Structure 1
Amino acid sequence: MKLYGMPGHLIRRLHQRSTHIFQERAKEVGVDLTSVQFAAMDALRTHPGIDQARVAALIAYDRATIGGVIERLERKGLVERSVSEQDRRARVVQLTETGRALLEEFTPTVSTMQGEILAHLDESERAQFNALLRKALDLDAEAAD
């Protein structure tokens, strides 16, 4: 099998496409977020008051670098951090009102761009593709939703 047909190469190219579309659509609507920042904010919306390590786990991101992601969101006024009352070593993170409003406004754009990322697949193929991705990642349906 040639390199260009290997799953790793194709996954990398799809990731590039996804990242490019995310950046372009965010720029078009005047939102200054990366896809990782959006994922972190969405995790905070779903699980308010969690610590940075839990954010990293929820979005499958490296614990060592999530601090920088959260720091940039904090500088933008979208999240705030505080020391955990349960564990003084942990930093609890939550969305600010500005962060919640931005997420509410931008989420429909992110939902719409999913179809653009897989534009060459019909609805049935998209559902099958998502199911295969979950299977390849060994995720059950609940964990992926």
Structure 2
Amino acid sequence: MIDIEEMPGHLVRRFQQIAVAIFHAEVGKTGFDLTPVQYAALARISTNPGIDQATLAGLIAYDRTTITGVVDRLVHKGWLTRTVSGRDRRARVLRITEEGLDVLRRIQPAVEEAQRIMLGGLTEAEAKDLLRLLHKATAAANDLSRAPLRAASTPASDAD
């Protein structure tokens, strides 16, 4: 029988638990209640204004049916707007608000500190190697995920 401590899935799950705990601790110090997925959504929308929810789900490798709840919470907080697309009435167009941009700016140092803490047991070279190998492994298995990462396309502006 294989020792679970030698299984990449087990180690990745443990590291994810640790990463989430560190993220919450560091971002919580800023006074904001924000999950890692909410942060990823805000960050991607800030660099892709006017994207729809399905595209957002692909950009952060999140389940399309579950992304609605994430967006709902961010809209409720006043950090995003969601409007019906002028091109496709089924699609919802997302834009970050000024308040949402302010939140991103204010929590950025905490997010960066969380990343440093997560990699704190590694040398700089080891941290770069870990990130490179994680990118390589996730890219190789991306299509096996129930929520694969999808590259951003450049849709025409949705001027509603």
Shorter-chain TM-score: which interval?
over 0.9
Establish whether residue 85 from structure 1 lines up as the match of residue 76 from structure 2: no
Give the match for residue 68 of structure 1: 69
Q: CA RMSD in A?
A: 1.1
Which residue of 1 is the match for residue 30 of structure 2?
29
Partner of 1:38: 39
Q: Quick check: which one's helix share is greater?
A: 1
Q: Which residue is equivalent to 1:102? A: 103
Q: Which runs of 5+ in 2 are unaligned?
A: 141-150, 152-160
TM-score (norm 1): 0.93
Percent of residue pairs bearing the same amino acid type: 46
Gaps of 5+ in 1: none
Shift of 1:123: 0.4
Number of aligned residue pairs = 140
Structure 2 length normalisation: TM-score?
0.85
Report the CA distance between 1:112 and its aligned residue. 2.0
Give me the whole-angstrom Cα distance separating, in 1, the residues matched to 2:134 and 2:113.
19
What CA distance in whole angstroms lies between the structure 2 residues aligned with 1:63 and 1:108?
29
Runs of 4 or more above 4 Å deviation: none
* Higher normalized contact order (CA 8 Å, seq sep 6+, divided by chain length): 2
The structural deviation recorded for 1:108 is 2.2
